[in-house]
Chain A
Amino acid sequence: MTVGQSVNRKEGRDKVTGAAKYVDDYHFQDIWYGKTVRSTVAHAQITGIEFLAGFDWSTVVLADYRDITSRNIVALIYDDQPLLAESLVRHVYEPILLIAAPTKELAELAAKHVHITYKKLPAVLTIEDSLSAEQKIFGDDNVFKSYTVTRGNVEDAFQSAEVVVEETYHVGHQEQLYIETNGIIATAKSDGTILIQGSMQCPYYVHRAIKELFGLPDEKVVVVQNVTGGGFGGKEEFPSVVAGHAALLAKKCGHPVKIVYERGEDFVASTKRHPAVIRHRTGLTRDGRLIAAEIDLTFDGGAYCTLSPVVLSRGVIHALGPYKCPNIRVTGKVVATNTPPNGAFRGFGVPQACFASEMHMENISRKLDISPVELRRKNMLHQGDYTLTGQQLTYSVGTQQVLDAVLERSDYLARRSHKQPELSNKRYGIGLSFYYHGGGFTGSGEEKIKGQAAVELTAEGTVRILTASTEIGQGTRTIFSQIVAQELGLRPEDVEFEENDTSKVPDSGPTVASRTCMVVGRVVQMAAASLKEEMAKRIASLAQCQASEIQFEGRHLLWQKDGEIISVSFAEAAERCMSRTGFLKTTAQYSSPPGIKWDDVTYSGDAYPVYAYAADVVEVEVDMDTFEVKILKVTTATDVGKAINPTLAEGQIEGGTVQALGYGLFEEVAWKDGKILNNRLTNYIIPTSLDIPDMETVLIENPYPYGPYGAKGIGELPMDGGAPALVAAIADAVGAVVTEIPATPERIMEAMEKLAVEA
């Protein structure tokens, strides 16, 4: 059995010896460097671009929107974002002009000699301004997309509610802050082919974006993913922008062009998590049963649509959390502002929704004086229950198990009844969150994409996987090799990978949405199963036995003949299988589990094939003089379906949880007139090893019948629950619920003052 074992990371050795090559580690003889000149104002007409004297302009090459030969767009959902601004800029940092030069320094120097003049227009900088639609910047109402999901009869149910609890929650931007900044190298070949290599999650997104820009057919664009130093969604759609810029310059200057952002530029130029305002109004029975709910979410999309409609859709579907409520209406909007576009970030709309819904549970438990645990137990989804989209949960529902496990492992009940030390300015607090996350694309997404993957025999008698799913640190290569090895009776080290190159690997769909293991892993497993079948057939015809009698075990194929066991090594069998055709390759394609139904119009049905569930307990100590928060301990329990590789699964959970704690406690983007004030690691603070205590990570396996060996997607789930558990712990310590994150000392103080006034 290799599935279920914590085998070593496939590329681990390269990563600990410095051998792994990231995009900035590539150097070509004649390479040039690209630099982007960006808008300095939030909303304006461009009135002129001046190239100042004092710089020798013949030493560099310039490109602007007029150099784009087909469509000036970053192809995604609405195609509203230009690759380079034409006459109008819609946010600060919007790219306007590109410069290529033989050295980075020269490109930088040239950029300092460009002067752009603007005629300023009124800028819409907040959700409130956008909603007022006084200044229209998108359509008639500034709304990119809205959704309504309704179940039951909400108005009547509120009539019969014994208690109504209402509150509004706010969350701000969060930067992905992968430690490797965005980087691409583009080469324009003499036959018109454009070659892109670099840091990215989704080579086929970049492939499509480049085709659209230059009007090229599939085969004229080749995109190769290099070792990627973290993505977290930040390298889902954004690398299309960098690649477009590099490609444009490469075409124009005739050299390969490298663009690797410095941290400060990456921070301001790239997408972030959507800020949101989320209002909950909930009707309950006095003993704490949810009977009516109204939830309204407004997300700030920024200046262009990017992936906002899908981010919002996931937020809307997860708005209630893993609870049942027979009468509910969820409304959601994502609006345009003159701020840099927001986009994909691990969790994809759920961390916002989950913070609001879990803090609302905290508020309800206080108002009704019911313990947070009892409130959850009363309302949680169980197998057979219906979610807010009317999806009946028929398998792999680990709600009760994760809650029980986290309470037990953290000793929550005993610790919650602690006594505060007298005469100390420190207060202890413990908080709980309980949450879920749908795996794979929302609704009919996976059916539309139909992700593919293939496996083939190699000349050396091993197996190679062909997939566009990228390794970005989460362990794609390791778990895929385990899955294939398991199917074929091999060891993970007998499985290799085709280079992640769009001219060589099929489109498995993007590496996003917690879908790599659960969805593409399943496709890889199916491809391996057909390879096995085909090999068995070919060997059976040579050996004159039944294909079904052939076993794949211990790197051998085994069967019985005349009472004797015959065995050939896998390598030898592979050679025999390929003797006539020279190769053997099998491809598989995703199809939804049976019975899955989704209606895009009414937004009802099976929103996801399955959900993963988790519960967190966070313990803190709050200094009552400074309101500084120290995290003492974190315990998580996660229903993963099946851990293909427990160490890697824990790594996902621990890493995601720490990002979530950062979101809840420190990470905040400061703005002025549409500009970011803290685009550096000195002033945008992410958790260090000293900010985070040891964690206990409990894995619970509740197999999903249609995932590989039962696995569910857990890439994003751990990003959802850390912030609310942390803020609930702060509330337990100080007695007041902070409704806006990050929970800075100022916000904790405000929450306490508000509470004092109310009392």
Chain B
Amino acid sequence: MAIKIVVNGQDLEVSVSPMKRLLDVLRQDCYLTGTKEGCGEGECGACSVLVDGEVINSCLVPVCQVEGSEIVTVEGLAENGKLVPVQEAFIKYGAAQCGICIPGMLMAAQALLDSKELSKQTPTRYEIREAIAGNLCRCTGYMKIVDAIEAAALSTLEKK
């Protein structure tokens, strides 16, 4: 069955079973392997992507459910090779260690930064921790990730 989705701004039509997991469609049919699988059951967040601006676990979603939606993966964050502030901050603050959780973590962070409330003030560290609570990281202990998101929030707000 042909299913239309928009991935990282590109209109795509994929011929797959409608029940195929969005995660597999992205990795196998769109050749976007940046999105990772850590558990396959909605617990780790390694597969997080944005669907119409919301963070979702792509391992839990059959592709037919996102027909017509706009999907953003980690590959879609940077524009023409220019990293967005949260990516820059993850590098600068040492937020990525092994890196396997990072694509998902970045999507959760970006969703927080995009959220409306943030147009007025930066999130608290607790709010940042809440925003990434569905994204497990076994390497970092989360400190540097929270630091990075905090810094990215600040620089995003300053730009606004």
Q: Is the CB of A177 within 8 A of B138?
A: yes
Q: Is the CB of A12 within 8 A of B40?
A: no
Please tell me if B46 contacts chain A, counting CB pairs below 8 Å: yes
Please tell me if B22 contacts chain A, counting CB pairs below 8 Å: no
For B153, the chain A residues whose CB sits under 8 A away are none
In the bound complex, CA of A228 to CA of B93 (Å): 21
Q: Which of B29-37, B63-71, B114-122 contacts A (4 or more CB under 8 A)?
A: B29-37
In the bound complex, CA of A19 to CA of B75 (Å): 8
1/0 contact string of B5-17 vs chain A (CB within 8 Å): 0000000000000
For B36, the chain A residues whose CB sits under 8 A away are 22, 24, 179-180, 229
Closest-CB distance, B121 to chain A (whole angstroms): 20
Closest-CB distance, A521 to chain B (whole angstroms): 18
Across the interface, B133 reaches (CB within 8 A) one of A20, A27, A647, A688, namely A688
| Beta-carbon nearest neighbor of A22 in chain B | B100
For B87, the chain A residues whose CB sits under 8 A away are 16-17
For B37, the chain A residues whose CB sits under 8 A away are 24
For A692, the chain B residues whose CB sits under 8 A away are 141-142
Interface of A: prevailing SS: loop
- Known contacts A16-B91, A17-B87, A654-B141; is A689 also within 8 Å of B103 by CB? no
Please tell me if A680 contacts chain B, counting CB pairs below 8 Å: yes
In the bound complex, CA of A687 to CA of B39 (Å): 15
- Known contacts A263-B38, A695-B141; is A16 also within 8 Å of B96 by CB? yes
Interface of B: prevailing SS: loop
In the bound complex, CA of A14 to CA of B74 (Å): 11
Q: Is the CB of B136 within 8 A of A17?
A: no
Please tell me if A694 contacts chain B, counting CB pairs below 8 Å: yes
Please tell me if A139 contacts chain B, counting CB pairs below 8 Å: no
In the bound complex, CA of A150 to CA of B8 (Å): 65
Please tell me if A33 contacts chain B, counting CB pairs below 8 Å: no
A13-58 interface with B by 8 A CB criterion: 13-22, 24-25, 27
Q: Is the CB of A658 within 8 A of B33?
A: no
For A690, the chain B residues whose CB sits under 8 A away are 129-130, 133
Closest-CB distance, B32 to chain A (whole angstroms): 7
In the bound complex, CA of A647 to CA of B40 (Å): 32
In the bound complex, CA of A688 to CA of B138 (Å): 9
B1-55 interface with A by 8 A CB criterion: 27-28, 32-41, 43-44, 46
Size band of the interface chain B makes with A: 35 or more
For B83, the chain A residues whose CB sits under 8 A away are 13, 16-17
Please tell me if B56 contacts chain A, counting CB pairs below 8 Å: no
Q: Is the CB of A17 within 8 A of B78?
A: yes
Across the interface, A694 reaches (CB within 8 A) one of B93, B99, B139, B143, namely B143
Q: Is the CB of A6 within 8 A of B94?
A: yes
Residue from A11, A13, A227, A688 whose CB has the most chain B CB atoms within 10 Å: A688
In the bound complex, CA of A17 to CA of B90 (Å): 11
Please tell me if A651 contacts chain B, counting CB pairs below 8 Å: yes
Please tell me if B155 contacts chain A, counting CB pairs below 8 Å: no
Q: Is the CB of B133 within 8 A of A650?
A: no
- Known contacts A16-B87, A17-B83, A647-B144; is A179 also within 8 Å of B136 by CB? yes
Please tell me if A434 contacts chain B, counting CB pairs below 8 Å: no
Across the interface, B40 reaches (CB within 8 A) one of A179, A227, A263, A475, namely A263
Please tell me if A8 contacts chain B, counting CB pairs below 8 Å: yes
Please tell me if A473 contacts chain B, counting CB pairs below 8 Å: yes
| Beta-carbon nearest neighbor of B106 in chain A | A16
Q: Is the CB of B144 within 8 A of A230?
A: no
Please tell me if B73 contacts chain A, counting CB pairs below 8 Å: yes
A655-700 interface with B by 8 A CB criterion: 655-659, 680-682, 686-690, 692, 694-695, 697
Q: Is the CB of A647 within 8 A of B33?
A: no
Across the interface, A18 reaches (CB within 8 A) one of B39, B74, B93, B137, namely B74
Q: Is the CB of A681 within 8 A of B138?
A: no
Please tell me if A570 contacts chain B, counting CB pairs below 8 Å: no
For A180, the chain B residues whose CB sits under 8 A away are 36, 38, 98, 100
In the bound complex, CA of A232 to CA of B138 (Å): 9
Closest-CB distance, B141 to chain A (whole angstroms): 4
A472-517 interface with B by 8 A CB criterion: 472-475
In the bound complex, CA of A27 to CA of B138 (Å): 26
Please tell me if A178 contacts chain B, counting CB pairs below 8 Å: yes
Q: Is the CB of B98 within 8 A of A18?
A: no
Please tell me if B113 contacts chain A, counting CB pairs below 8 Å: no
Q: Is the CB of B41 within 8 A of A689?
A: no
For B102, the chain A residues whose CB sits under 8 A away are 15-16
Residue from A8, A18, A475, A690 whose CB has the most chain B CB atoms within 10 Å: A18
- Known contacts A17-B83, A230-B98, A682-B43; is A694 also within 8 Å of B103 by CB? no
Size band of the interface chain A makes with B: 35 or more
- Known contacts A179-B46, A229-B99, A472-B98; is A25 also within 8 Å of B143 by CB? no
In the bound complex, CA of A686 to CA of B137 (Å): 9
For B39, the chain A residues whose CB sits under 8 A away are 263, 680-681
In the bound complex, CA of A473 to CA of B37 (Å): 18
Residue from B130, B133, B139, B140 whose CB has the most chain A CB atoms within 10 Å: B139
Residue from A21, A657, A681 whose CB has the most chain B CB atoms within 10 Å: A681
Q: Is the CB of A686 within 8 A of B138?
A: yes
| Beta-carbon nearest neighbor of A648 in chain B | B94
Please tell me if A251 contacts chain B, counting CB pairs below 8 Å: no
Please tell me if A279 contacts chain B, counting CB pairs below 8 Å: no
Closest-CB distance, B34 to chain A (whole angstroms): 2
Please tell me if A333 contacts chain B, counting CB pairs below 8 Å: no
For A176, the chain B residues whose CB sits under 8 A away are 138
For B144, the chain A residues whose CB sits under 8 A away are 647, 650-651, 654
For A228, the chain B residues whose CB sits under 8 A away are 98
Please tell me if A262 contacts chain B, counting CB pairs below 8 Å: yes
- Known contacts A18-B34, A689-B146, A695-B141; is A651 also within 8 Å of B133 by CB? no
Q: Is the CB of B99 within 8 A of A473?
A: yes
Q: Is the CB of A655 within 8 A of B139?
A: yes
Q: Is the CB of A9 within 8 A of B143?
A: no
Q: Is the CB of A229 within 8 A of B91?
A: no
| Beta-carbon nearest neighbor of B94 in chain A | A647
Closest-CB distance, B96 to chain A (whole angstroms): 4
| Beta-carbon nearest neighbor of B89 in chain A | A16
In the bound complex, CA of A4 to CA of B29 (Å): 45
Residue from A12, A22, A650, A659 whose CB has the most chain B CB atoms within 10 Å: A12
Residue from A6, A15, A20, A231 whose CB has the most chain B CB atoms within 10 Å: A15
For A263, the chain B residues whose CB sits under 8 A away are 38-41
In the bound complex, CA of A17 to CA of B87 (Å): 8
Closest-CB distance, A7 to chain B (whole angstroms): 10
In the bound complex, CA of A697 to CA of B147 (Å): 14
For B140, the chain A residues whose CB sits under 8 A away are 651, 654-655, 658
For A655, the chain B residues whose CB sits under 8 A away are 97, 138-141
In the bound complex, CA of A650 to CA of B40 (Å): 31
Q: Is the CB of B133 within 8 A of A18?
A: no
Across the interface, B94 reaches (CB within 8 A) one of A9, A681, A686, namely A9
In the bound complex, CA of A657 to CA of B100 (Å): 19
In the bound complex, CA of A218 to CA of B13 (Å): 48
Contact surface of B with A, Cβ cutoff 8 Å: 27-28, 32-41, 43-44, 46, 73-75, 77-78, 83, 87, 90-94, 96-103, 106, 125, 128-130, 132-146
18 additional A-B pairs beyond A681-B43, A689-B142, beta carbons within 8 Å, are A12-B90, A15-B96, A16-B106, A179-B100, A179-B138, A180-B100, A227-B99, A229-B99, A263-B41, A650-B94, A650-B143, A651-B141, A655-B140, A656-B141, A659-B138, A686-B138, A689-B133, A692-B141
22 contacting pairs across A/B (C-beta < 8 A): A15-B102, A16-B74, A16-B106, A20-B99, A22-B100, A25-B27, A179-B98, A179-B136, A179-B138, A229-B36, A647-B94, A647-B144, A650-B94, A651-B140, A658-B141, A658-B142, A681-B41, A681-B44, A689-B133, A690-B129, A694-B125, A697-B143
Q: Which 9 A-B pairs have the closest CB atoms?
A: A18-B34, A473-B98, A229-B100, A15-B99, A658-B141, A473-B97, A654-B141, A681-B43, A25-B33
Contact surface of A with B, Cβ cutoff 8 Å: 6, 8-9, 11-22, 24-25, 27, 176-181, 227-232, 262-263, 472-475, 647-648, 650-651, 654-659, 680-682, 686-690, 692, 694-695, 697
